[in-house]
């Protein structure tokens, strides 16, 4: 499957990330099929896409999304509790909860249902893609990669694109293309079996470990560390609390 052929994208799991991903894909012009487990969960996803703080309605109100683009995007998204609704998608993004066994199970389940030429990507926060793809057919492996969006998806620009030794060049180009067309800035990451967190979460976890070590050694308080990062590096928040644990005065 080449980038230019991708028209319809399935989103497996319509939670915090799945809803945001569906939103940006539809605004980018893709047809989107969201699958979740119950009508109540589907309704919650609709509310998050259309009505939430990061939803389309508010994006129009604050001038981030032109009204015409929103009205064109809305009918492009369909919802289903049935896995069979995903069978004709060209590209599938998995955003179910962060459990390796669950991701392995859902990919094995859909592998036999979805179009054999479709690209599969996981939005995992950090499990190696080769582990997630463990139970799919060998013919799907060249079509398998990762696409790590950041929350909230409509507002955060970054998307890590993760490739394994088996991900084909066409698949890598298609994943990059879908992310770029959705307005994202790409960071390329080689899958690293035995590690967790790709690039973004590994760097952040390392910084957080260092911040905790500084607190444990009595060198600085959590509040001082957060204040340093927010006012010395312009981070929007620190490690330790709401708005960096320093309240609203900043």
Ligand X SMILES: NC(=O)c1ccc[n+]([C@@H]2O[C@H](COP(=O)([O-])OP(=O)(O)OC[C@H]3O[C@@H](n4cnc5c(N)ncnc54)[C@H](O)[C@@H]3O)[C@@H](O)[C@H]2O)c1
Catalytic residues: 125, 148, 160, 201
* 67 vs 204, beta carbon nearer ligand X: 204
State the minimum distance, in angstroms, from the CB of residue 122 to ligand X.
7
* 3 vs 79, beta carbon nearer ligand X: 79
Beta strands in 44-90 (DSSP E): 77-80
State the minimum distance, in angstroms, from the CB of residue 191 to ligand X.
15
Query: CB nearest ligand X: which residue?
Result: 15
Contact residues for ligand X (CB under 6 A)?
12-18, 35-37, 41, 95-98, 106, 123-125, 149-151
| CA gap 61, 235 in Å, rounded | 27
State the minimum distance, in angstroms, from the CB of residue 18 to ligand X.
6
CB 89 within 8 A of CB 10: yes
Residue whose C-alpha is closest to residue 204's, from 150, 131, 128: 150
* 74 vs 108, beta carbon nearer ligand X: 108
* 68 vs 101, beta carbon nearer ligand X: 101
State the minimum distance, in angstroms, from the CB of residue 149 to ligand X.
6
């Amino acid at each position: 499957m080449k980038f230019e052929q991708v028209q319809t994208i399935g989103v497996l799991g319509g939670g915090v990330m799945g809803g945001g991903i569906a939103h940006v894909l539809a605004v980018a012009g893709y047809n989107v099929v969201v699958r979740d487990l119950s009508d109540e969960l589907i309704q919650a996803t609709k509310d998050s896409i259309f009505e939430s703080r990061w939803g389309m309605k508010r994006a129009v109100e604050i001038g981030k999304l032109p009204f015409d683009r929103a009205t064109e995007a809305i009918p492009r998204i369909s919802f289903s509790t049935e896995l069979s609704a995903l069978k004709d998608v060209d590209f599938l993004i998995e955003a179910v909860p962060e459990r390796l066994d669950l991701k392995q199970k859902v990919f094995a389940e859909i592998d036999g249902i979805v179009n054999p030429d479709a690209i599969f990507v996981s939005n995992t926060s950090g499990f190696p893609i080769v582990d997630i793809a463990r139970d799919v057919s060998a013919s799907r492996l060249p079509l398998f990669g990762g696409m790590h969006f950041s929350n909230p998806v409509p507002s955060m620009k970054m998307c890590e694109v993760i490739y394994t030794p088996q991900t084909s060049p066409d698949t890598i180009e298609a994943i990059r293309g879908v992310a770029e067309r959705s307005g994202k800035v790409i960071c390329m990451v080689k899958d690293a079996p035995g590690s967790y967190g790709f690039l973004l979460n590994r760097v952040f976890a390392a910084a957080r470990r260092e911040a905790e070590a500084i607190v444990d050694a009595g060198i600085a308080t959590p509040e001082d560390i957060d204040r340093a990062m927010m006012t010395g590096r312009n981070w929007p928040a620190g490690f330790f609390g709401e708005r960096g644990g320093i309240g609203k005065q900043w």
